[in-house]
Amino acid sequence: LQQGPADLDGRVIVITGANVGLGYESAKEFVKRNGTVVLACRDVAKAEEAARRIVKSVGGGTAGRAGGRSSTPQNVALVHVEQSLDCMEVDLASLESVRTFASKLTAKYPSIYALVCNAGVWVPMEEERKTGDGYEIHFGVNHLGHFALIKSVVDHMAKSKEECRVVLVSSGLLRSGKIDMDKQDFVYEGRKVAAAAAEEGTSTSRISTNTASDGAEEALLPNNNDERRQKKKKKNASFAPTGYCDSKLMNALMAPPLATTLGKTAPP
């Protein structure tokens, strides 16, 4: 957020899961900077409530549903705030919903400056939750849903004469992720807790990426026998669903090839 333009000049920013948490705070900040923000949420009613809270916080009043422009990011007019928030429905647990959303989005906005892939689920593995398409819930929502969305809009974004960017929100818990391409158990069933416990102490896939993460660079260091780090890893892994950790690693692994695709338009 601190490195982006001070004045977005009406540029369109799409944020999944923008009704709460990091997504909500990002939406509020981008509106302050004169951006047009699409709150892409599974529950449109919750997105509209979030939009009303943003309007009240930034300028007061009620939220509208169309894009708008202004030239005074530090003194945002009420009417601009209302017009700069657009609530759209997308259920990342349904690939059909993702395709429908992408079609409506690209038809409505000729130019999209940024796509922030923020939405995610955190579900105990014992619940064995799946998406409507039959995928393990973390893989289906946190990774596959966003992958399908990016694939559906990236060419449209790349056509823009301006720079564009895709932000993948990962987590420091990616260091507890493990992707076994032989088993591919993460796709439909999810890595089982018992199996994960048996693997504790083995090396984990690690990458270097510019993916947004709450963890930091420690996750990018080579595996070693440092006792403190191993204890910390075990503590983190014990409370986090294995599917969540694995999906956050997938988010990070997706970043380098995506950077290659958008390399000609991505900012430094």
Helix (H), strand (E), coil (C) string for the chain: CCCCCCCCCCCEEEEECCCCHHHHHHHHHHHHCCCEEEEEECCHHHHHHHHHHHHHHHCCCCCCCCCCCCCCCCCCCHHHHHHCEEEEECCCCCHHHHHHHHHHHHHHCCCCCEEEECCCCCCCHHHCCECCCCCEHHHHHHHHHHHHHHHHHHHHHHCCCCCCEEEEECCHHHHHCCCCCCCCCCCCCCCCHHHHHHCCCCCCCCCCCCCECCCHHHHHCCCCCCHHHHHHHHHHHHHCCHHHHHHHHHHHHHHHHHHHHCCCCCCC
Q: Is 188 an active-site residue?
A: yes
Catalytic pick from 113, 135, 188, 244? 188
Which are the catalytic amino acids? 188
